[in-house]
């Protein structure tokens, strides 16, 4: 698309009008996202993902990420609710990476939930883990597709790549990041009713620990 448009501009076949420039720009943004995602996966494949693990207040990390995506959800006519019990423990995480995971799940929930729907972000302590969940009332995922969604480049509705954004790498990266923390990420879904993605992060042993870098 980018090459085609640029060649057409060069040859004078198409005038570089607003619509054409917007289209090229949209493609470049997607391409640059793809390059970043591939680089991240290559780093993970090479075992070179570096995490800076330190005790973090998980409810703060969740609230920060939710606030950053709320406007986008509200603009689409979706409500976003957080359900965080008091006294959630500190967790041993790289907060930037967990933010990235949560951001991805929220972006997906927004993309796959029609206007008027609801997104709920919740967290609950389970022994030495905190489980964080993002639920939506969206289109859901057919049972036969569900086992594949964490595979690289997998998209349920291939024809809607443009409308819903990504390249099918978001959940692959999210899984790698959660597993790098020792946790697990899973999805449940009922077509037509909605989806629930949940992942676990470890509770920190001791708040006073210094940052640890994991290579
Ligand atoms: P993409 O870049 O396509 O968003 P992801 O790896 O994040 O890639 O997701 C893979 C596929 O899983 C998506 O293309 C979509 O079909 C499906 N999916 C992910 N999250 C949801 C959701 N909340 N509701 C419905 N389908 C979803």
- State pLDDT tens for residues 28-75: 998 998 999 899 889 988 888 889 999 999 999 999 999 999 999 999
Say yes or no: CB of residue 117 within 6 Å of ligand 1.
no
Sign of CA dihedral 151, 43, 197, 116: negative
Distance from the CA of 139 to the center of ligand 1, in angstroms? 11
In whole angstroms, give the CA distance from residue 22 to residue 24.
6
Please report the beta strands in the chain, taking only residues with DSSP state E, as ranges in sequence order.
51-57, 79-83, 90-93, 118-126, 129-136, 185-190, 194-202, 212-214
Percent of residues, the chain, with pLDDT higher than 90: 73
The Cα–Cα gap between 167 and 139 comes to: 19
Name the least confident of 46-60, 77-91, 195-209.
195-209
- 194 to each of 69, 129, 199, 212, how far by Cα in Å? 19, 25, 17, 38
pLDDT value, residue 141: 95
Measure the N-to-C terminal CA separation of the chain; round to a whole number of Å: 39
Q: For residues 52 and 99, is the Cβ–Cβ distance under 8 A?
A: no
| Under 8 Å between Cβ of 200 and 130 | yes
Hey, CA dihedral for 97, 101, 106, 112, is it positive or negative? Answer: positive
Per-residue pLDDT tens digits for 107-133: 999 999 999 999 999 999 999 999 999
* Encoded tokens for 214: 């994991």
The response to whether residue 149 sits with its C-beta less than 6 Å from ligand 1 reads yes
With the most atoms of ligand 1 within 8 angstroms of its CB, the residue from 76, 149, 162 to mutate is 149
Prediction pTM value: 0.88
Residues, the chain, total? 215
Listed ranges 29-43, 154-168, 169-183; the one with the highest mean pLDDT: 169-183
The SS3 call for residue 168 is coil
């Amino acid at each position: 698309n980018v090459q085609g448009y640029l060649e057409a501009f060069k040859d004078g076949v198409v005038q570089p009008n607003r619509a054409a420039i917007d289209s090229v720009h949209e493609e470049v943004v997607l391409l640059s996202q793809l390059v970043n995602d591939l680089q991240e996966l290559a780093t993970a494949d090479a075992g070179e993902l570096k995490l800076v693990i330190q005790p973090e207040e998980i409810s703060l990390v969740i609230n920060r990420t939710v606030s950053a995506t709320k406007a986008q959800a509200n603009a689409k006519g979706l409500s976003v609710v957080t359900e965080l019990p008091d006294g959630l423990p500190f967790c041993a995480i790289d907060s930037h990476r967990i933010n990235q995971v949560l951001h991805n799940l929220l972006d997906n929930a927004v993309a796959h939930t029609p206007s008027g729907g609801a997104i709920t972000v919740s967290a609950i302590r389970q022994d030495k883990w905190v489980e964080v969940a993002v639920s939506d009332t969206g289109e859901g995922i057919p049972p036969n597709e569900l086992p594949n969604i964490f595979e690289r480049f997998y998209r349920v509705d291939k024809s809607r790549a443009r409308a819903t954004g990504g390249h099918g790498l978001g959940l692959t990266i999210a899984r790698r990041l959660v597993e790098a923390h020792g946790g697990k990420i899973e999805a449940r879904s009922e077509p037509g009713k909605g989806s629930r993605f949940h992942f676990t992060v470890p509770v920190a042993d001791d708040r006073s620990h210094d940052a640890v870098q994991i290579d």
